[in-house]
Amino acid sequence: MGNKKAAQSNIYVCSRSVLITSSAAFILLAAGCARTTTKSSGADSGQAKQQLSKDERMKWWREARFGMFIHWGLYAIPAGEWKGEKIPNIGEWIMENADIPVDEYEQLAKQFNPVKFNADEWVRIAKNAGMKYIVITSKHHDGFCLWDSKVSDYDIMASTPFKRDILKELSEACAKQGIRLCFYHSIMDWHHPDAQAPFYPNYNDRRLSNANFQRYVDTYLKPQIKELVINYGPLGVLWFDGEWVKDWTEPMGSDMYKYVRDLQPDIIINNRVGKGRKGMQSMSRGEEFAGDFGTPEQRIPPTGLAGVDWETCMTMNDTWGFKSYDHNWKSTKDLIQKLADIASKGGNFLLNVGPTAEGLIPQPSVERLAAMGEWMKINGESIYGTTASPIGKLPCGRCTAKPDRLYLHVFNWPQDGKLLVPGLKNKVKKAYLLADKERSELAVKSRGKDKIINVPKEAPDKINTVVVLEIKNK
């Protein structure tokens, strides 16, 4: 009972009815991942072993707000080049974009030997950035498996010189450092003969069908999912992808959803398990579609979505998998403000890294994550466990909420030292800078329906200074 109850009880009288209408429209779109305790495909119903309601199951995830996405696999070896040619588009799609036959692409496994891979170091980088969970590609579209699978030899143990179970090492490192381990898993498989391998050279041709696809699902996909959940769990989230293939259907998605929840009742599953996704804005088209949360990709919804579970996944440059020549890195300022923007709309931020073939997270990513961590060390309280802004966007930035306070994320500091907070009628009991350990009080004046906070002339943090307003609830 997160956002909805808080908003109703605290009556932050918002004069911006426009906002509600637009988010209502958005909510219509996102009904599938609604934060209700309604059953999602019966998995929550009755059976004694499934104790948790959806709200209880989602609690850690909703409070976490910030996670690391890791795209890693054989595609890190060519790193965006094939036979000396730069291959356009995202690096992990090189098999498709360079029209590489299965037997040729498979040869990369013989070269995959990431000796610099250090699971503890990766988890430390995520944790130090303020991230609470990690979603790593157990298997991407190219079909290569980063764990010791008994169902396939196209994996790290049987077909590479590395012969270390990467997911096992990450599972142990996450357990040690208190980070939730989650797996990305592609339904689309360009390597499996019963899946999309026969579609070469257009592995991703959505018009094509494989008569043996059900056999792939029953004898390969589901058994591997079981391996991952049972042998490496408990997992936080199973993050499906590649569900757009023609042969995958909503009934298959609902069945997979139930199958996974039966294996681990408290697991969370994204909305790409079914066919509910609406394009890259990726909210579900309705409650009837399987999945616990929406997955906007490379975009942030325009307005708040109070009461809806969603998570924006995003690259730090222009590729998910490592590309040696992609240096179009987002700035630390942009990333910190995006995190605040996403949290102010009630969403999670899943920020990607694409490690090299040696097993290193690219330095530009490491530096930006460390800088985000410095900001989170001071301001984490204004992100973790917060809910969507009850007063919409602010002229100066964004707002996140807790039952008894608002966090104003000030991106554009008022030169005159007068911070305007439009449409807030509640009485402000106390205002102060979150970074100020003394919490020295800032003067607050009412001006009609608005509040004016007297702040220092200089912005303590040029990227995002958080001002806390302790609110008297009506």
Q: How far is the CB of 39 from ligand FHN (least distance, A)?
A: 27
Q: Which is nearer to ligand FHN, 293 or 320 (CB)?
A: 320
Q: How far is the CB of 471 from ligand FHN (least distance, A)?
A: 37
Instruction: Based on the shown chain and the rule CB under 6 A, indicate whether residue 70 belongs to the binding site for ligand FHN.
Output: no
Q: Which is nearer to ligand FHN, 92 or 194 (CB)?
A: 92
Count CB atoms within 10 A of the CB of residue 113: 17
Instruction: Based on the shown chain and the rule CB under 6 A, indicate whether residue 444 belongs to the binding site for ligand FHN.
Output: no
Contacts with ligand FHN by CB under 6 A: the residue count is 7
Q: How far is the CB of 456 from ligand FHN (least distance, A)?
A: 41
Q: How far is the CB of 133 from ligand FHN (least distance, A)?
A: 15
Asked whether the beta carbons of 303 and 274 are under 8 A apart, the reply is no
Instruction: Based on the shown chain and the rule CB under 6 A, indicate whether residue 142 belongs to the binding site for ligand FHN.
Output: no
Q: How far is the CB of 278 from ligand FHN (least distance, A)?
A: 13
- Largest Cα separation within the chain, whole Å, is 71
Residue 227, both tokens? 């391996």
Instruction: Based on the shown chain and the rule CB under 6 A, indicate whether residue 313 belongs to the binding site for ligand FHN.
Output: yes
CA separation for the pair 458, 415 (Å, rounded): 8
CA separation for the pair 354, 466 (Å, rounded): 31
| SS3 (DSSP) at 302 | coil
Q: Which is nearer to ligand FHN, 237 or 444 (CB)?
A: 237
Residue 137, both tokens? 């590609």
Q: How far is the CB of 240 from ligand FHN (least distance, A)?
A: 10
Instruction: Based on the shown chain and the rule CB under 6 A, indicate whether residue 90 belongs to the binding site for ligand FHN.
Output: yes
| SS3 (DSSP) at 406 | strand
Question: What angle, 0 to 180 degrees and rounded to 10, lies between the N-to-C axes of helices 222-232 and 166-177?
Answer: 40
Q: Which is nearer to ligand FHN, 313 or 431 (CB)?
A: 313
DSSP string, 14-79: -S-HHHHHHHHHHHHHTGGGB-S-S-STTTTSS-TT----HHHHHHHHHHH-EEEEE--SGGGTTT
Looking at 89-97, 249-257, 366-374, 442-450, which segment touches ligand FHN (CB under 6 A)? 89-97
Instruction: Based on the shown chain and the rule CB under 6 A, indicate whether residue 341 belongs to the binding site for ligand FHN.
Output: no
**Nearest CA to 69 among 122, 147, 30, 13?**
122
| SS3 (DSSP) at 312 | strand
Q: How far is the CB of 277 from ligand FHN (least distance, A)?
A: 9
Residue of the chain from 320, 322, 349, 375 that contacts ligand FHN (CB under 6 A): 320
Instruction: Based on the shown chain and the rule CB under 6 A, indicate whether residue 134 belongs to the binding site for ligand FHN.
Output: no
Residue of the chain from 142, 243, 292, 297 that contacts ligand FHN (CB under 6 A): 297
| Residues paired with 473 in a beta bridge | none
Residue of the chain from 54, 65, 80, 92 that contacts ligand FHN (CB under 6 A): 92
Q: Which is nearer to ligand FHN, 44 or 241 (CB)?
A: 241
Instruction: Based on the shown chain and the rule CB under 6 A, indicate whether residue 96 belongs to the binding site for ligand FHN.
Output: no
Looking at 87-95, 407-415, 424-432, 458-466, which segment touches ligand FHN (CB under 6 A)? 87-95
Instruction: Based on the shown chain and the rule CB under 6 A, indicate whether residue 241 belongs to the binding site for ligand FHN.
Output: yes
Instruction: Based on the shown chain and the rule CB under 6 A, indicate whether residue 311 belongs to the binding site for ligand FHN.
Output: no
Q: How far is the CB of 231 from ligand FHN (least distance, A)?
A: 23
Q: Which is nearer to ligand FHN, 15 or 281 (CB)?
A: 281
CA distances 377 to 187, 434, 461, Å, are: 37, 11, 13
Instruction: Based on the shown chain and the rule CB under 6 A, indicate whether residue 293 belongs to the binding site for ligand FHN.
Output: no
Instruction: Based on the shown chain and the rule CB under 6 A, indicate whether residue 238 belongs to the binding site for ligand FHN.
Output: no
Q: How far is the CB of 242 from ligand FHN (least distance, A)?
A: 7
**Nearest CA to 433 among 463, 410, 466?**
466
**Nearest CA to 364 among 83, 45, 125, 96?**
125
CA separation for the pair 361, 116 (Å, rounded): 10
The residue assigned the tokens 């339904």 is: 187
For CA atoms 51, 53, 55, 61, the dihedral sign is positive
- Contact residues toward ligand FHN (CB under 6 A) are 90, 92-93, 241, 297, 313, 320
